[in-house]
Amino acid sequence: MVIFKKLTAEHAELYRTVRLEALKTHPEAYASDFETEQNRSMDHFRTHLSDEQMLVVGGFDGDRLIAIASLHRESLPKMAHRATLTSVYVHPDYRGQQISRKIIEYMIDAVKETGVTKIYLFVMTDNEPAIRAYKKFGFVIYGEDRDAMKEKDGYVDEYLMVKYI
């Protein structure tokens, strides 16, 4: 059974391992890249996991971290009702079990108390499985960002999606 919990600085090594796995297996899905993240210090990951504006959640099967997701909350008072979902990753062995949905539900429950009422995300326009999953979860496309990221073989377009909670 997979359990979800907020990751802290104590989880930095586990988080780094899964983050690098995500970047290596699906480089096109993330703004950062394997080389950049691999060269970051462990202190960088500890700081990231300790940032008060970040909610990083992990899915654990026993002691094994098998899923991660990050939610960045806006800090300015006029924008504190907004957050952006980033870096969702589920290990291939656990896909098809609604882990990403459950981790996002966990995050939404956690941020409701902070006044967040709106969650944004960005997804590649050709990532049909993710787009379908996000739509089922209540996210809607409100825009498209052409040439959002530059990859080695060209540019990638992204849909901008939002969910009101």
pLDDT digits (tens, 9 = 90+) for 131-164: 999 999 999 999 999 999 988 889 999 999 999 9
Average pLDDT, the chain: 95
Percent of the chain with pLDDT over 70: 100
- Strand 118-124 and strand 82-90: pairing? parallel
- Greatest alpha-carbon span in the chain: 43
Structure tokens at 87: 């870096």
Instruction: Give dist(CA 143, CA 129) in Å, integer.
Output: 18
Give pTM, 2 decimals. Answer: 0.92
CB 69 within 8 A of CB 87: yes
Question: pLDDT grade, residue 88 (50/70/90)?
Answer: very high
In order of their start, the domains of the chain are 2-116 (3.40.630.30)
